[in-house]
Amino acid sequence: MDNTRSLSSISSTSSLLFTRTNEFYKIQNRVKFKSPRALSIRATSSDSVVTLLDYGAGNVRSVRNAIRHLGFGIKDVQTPEDILNANRLIFPGVGAFAAAMDVLNKTGMAEALCAYIEKDRPFLGICLGLQLLFQSSEENGPVNGLGLIPGVVGRFDSSNGFRVPQIGWNALQITKDSEILDDVGDHHVYFVHSYRAMPSDDNKEWVSSTCNYGDNFIASVRRGNVHAVQFHPEKSGDVGLSVLRRFLHPKTNIPKKPTEGKALKLAKRVIACLDVRANDKGDLVVTKGDQYDVREHTKENEVRNLGKPVELARQYYKEGADEISFLNITGFRDFPLGDLPMLQVLRLTSENVFVPLTVGGGIRDFTDANGRHYSSLEVASEYFRSGADKISIGSDAVYAAEDYLKTGVKTGKSSLEQISRVYGNQAVVVSIDPRRVYITHPNDVEFKAVRVTDLGPNGEEYAWYQCTVNGGREGRPIGAYELAKAVEDLGAGEILLNCIDCDGQGKGFDMDLIKLISDAVSIPVIASSGAGAVEHFSDVFRKTNASAALAAGIFHRKEVPIQSVKEHLYKEGIEVRI
């Protein structure tokens, strides 16, 4: 895209750009400090309006979209009185525990929340909105919480082989009638978190379900009209919408749906990836490369056009994709906030796609033609606010890892560090684009090499995986193994592991590479590039520690539907969400 043209449209966007910190600040200034205990509860507003406590710490667009999708209007909390006067309050806590408590305390909302909950008014906390109800958290702490439920929120233990954060679809063990979970049964729901509260004798009157991830943690609580869930109903597909629906319509007699799920534990995820870019006419299209070459080999040499991003994303959601990734593949040379159609794609998709959305491409610092500087954090914030749950960093993470390995110092200034500090590492994916380089002996290079399953063209028995930037155009002096370990240190929450050699080939994933990386890090790894048949998915989950497998071409060309991948995995005894 032409930067000059695109930048003219940025001025309207720039006012939208703000970080979470700024947003906190705005809210703190906006809210009057007044003791909520001195306030009386006014007449309630309409039944079709739900009050939302959004303190601006991240993406709650999906919660808003889900509420609207279910036919409700939204009233945003501006003052503590709004909490006390709510008919029905949803608190989708996002971000870090300490920062959230800071805002709640400074604005008087903490007291209002306690008063509201103590009066048994209808409340639904989501994720951090559950954790904040407890006495304290170890996240950057100890930090005191609202103190309504006995217990301390602690970090998952990764020493027993469980990857932290827990990202994905897990099963609930329902321990008491919670009403809002009536349709969950044996279906999976979506979790994304590094911290959790544990059930104990002291809090057992609250606990309505637990989930197992290394240990049994609290997945939901309920007392009277007060509910809170550690999972994300707004990202848990139809099952999640049913949780919200039951909270919003408590008195209506919605018949309990028969349980058809088979959830036992954390499921392996199947992800549909949409590589997006503008074609030569300027329309945003889903394209697909062969080893990253996205142009047709015809006289016209056009960008391959496999469909429209929003339509395809909706279709994949309906077909059972556990997650959708959008990669803005020319983001490395265009300024993504100039690429407003991409933001529009996210906004439209998140209106009725209720599974996690990742967006990548062009997340880096940028200075426009007028000298206005945009930080990568601002770019990411705009993506989050447009509906992304996770952002994915490619080229910029390579440079950050190179610097880190050279100096051994975490400057805290890289996009990776800044974004994960503000939004949490579960929101930051690093996309690796490596190319296989065959060698005869592992000591031929300073990078980690593996013995390859299939020999190289000259009978080479080893290979290392060279990282690239700018959509595979430039090789860098760093291997995929070194990069993966460095970005984990710098705060990445997940790795999207592509392979240029396998991309679009349909011959299966690069098992050597995926095994190497998924054994090297303790964050989840998404296997990508090369899926051509359902067996490739079972293979990658059997032979490697990948947490998810991503495919593009076979889904776009309708060669293998997502549902048949799921059915195959299920028949093979691999846990999937069905």
Binding site for ligand 1PR (CB under 6 A): 273, 275, 288-289, 292, 294, 327, 329, 331-332, 360-363, 392-396, 431, 433, 471-472, 498, 503-504, 528-531, 551-553
Q: Choose between 191 and 509: whose C-beta lies nearer to ligand 1PR.
A: 509
Strands of 156-237 (E only): list them: 166-170, 173-174, 189-193, 195-197, 207-213, 215-223, 226-229
Structure tokens at 367: 């200075």
Structure tokens at 426: 């579960």
Are 433 and 400 in contact by the 8 Å Cβ rule? The answer is no
Structure tokens at 246: 């039951």
For residue 295, the 8-state DSSP code is B
User: Could you give the CA distance from residue 386 to residue 368 in angstroms, rounded to a whole number?
Assistant: 21
Residue 371 falls in which region: left (phi positive, over 0), alpha (psi -120 to 50) or beta: left
Give the β-pairing of 226-229 and 215-223: antiparallel
- 387 labeled part of a ligand binding site: no
Are 540 and 509 in contact by the 8 Å Cβ rule? The answer is yes
Residue 10 CA to chain centroid, in angstroms? 26
Are 309 and 359 in contact by the 8 Å Cβ rule? The answer is no
DSSP states of 42-91: -----TTEEEE---SSS--HHHHHHHHHTT-EEEE--SHHHHHT-SSEEE
Q: Give the shortest CB-9-to-ligand 1PR separation in angstroms.
A: 20
Q: Choose between 137 and 431: whose C-beta lies nearer to ligand 1PR.
A: 431
Structure tokens at 517: 């990386």
> Helical H runs in 215-339?
237-248, 309-319
- The single residue listed with the structure tokens 């299920």 is 570
Q: Give the shortest CB-321-to-ligand 1PR separation in angstroms.
A: 13
For residue 290, the 8-state DSSP code is B
Q: Cα-atom radius of gyration of the chain, to the nearest Å?
A: 24
Catalytic residue among 234, 334, 351, 494: 234
Q: Could you tell me which of 187, 277, 274 has the C-alpha nearest to residue 236?
A: 187
Indicate if 499 belongs to the active site: no
- 127 labeled part of a ligand binding site: yes
| Burial status of residue 479 (CB atoms within 10 A of its CB: 0-12, 13-18, 19 or more) | buried
Are 217 and 200 in contact by the 8 Å Cβ rule? The answer is no
Q: Choose between 210 and 328: whose C-beta lies nearer to ligand 1PR.
A: 328
Indicate if 234 belongs to the active site: yes
Q: Choose between 25 and 399: whose C-beta lies nearer to ligand 1PR.
A: 399
Q: Choose between 134 and 332: whose C-beta lies nearer to ligand 1PR.
A: 332
Q: Choose between 39 and 355: whose C-beta lies nearer to ligand 1PR.
A: 355
User: Could you give the CA distance from residue 12 to residue 3 in angstroms, rounded to a whole number?
Assistant: 15
Indicate if 232 belongs to the active site: yes
- Report the Cα–Cα distance between both ends of the chain, in Å, rounded: 40
The partner residues of 295 in beta bridges, in order of sequence, read 303
DSSP states of 540-574: HHHHS--SEEEE-HHHHTTSS-HHHHHHHHHHTT-
Catalytic residue among 232, 536, 556, 568: 232
What are the binding residues?
127, 362, 498
Among all residues, which ones are annotated catalytic? Answer: 127, 232, 234, 275, 433
Annotated binding site for L-glutamine: 127
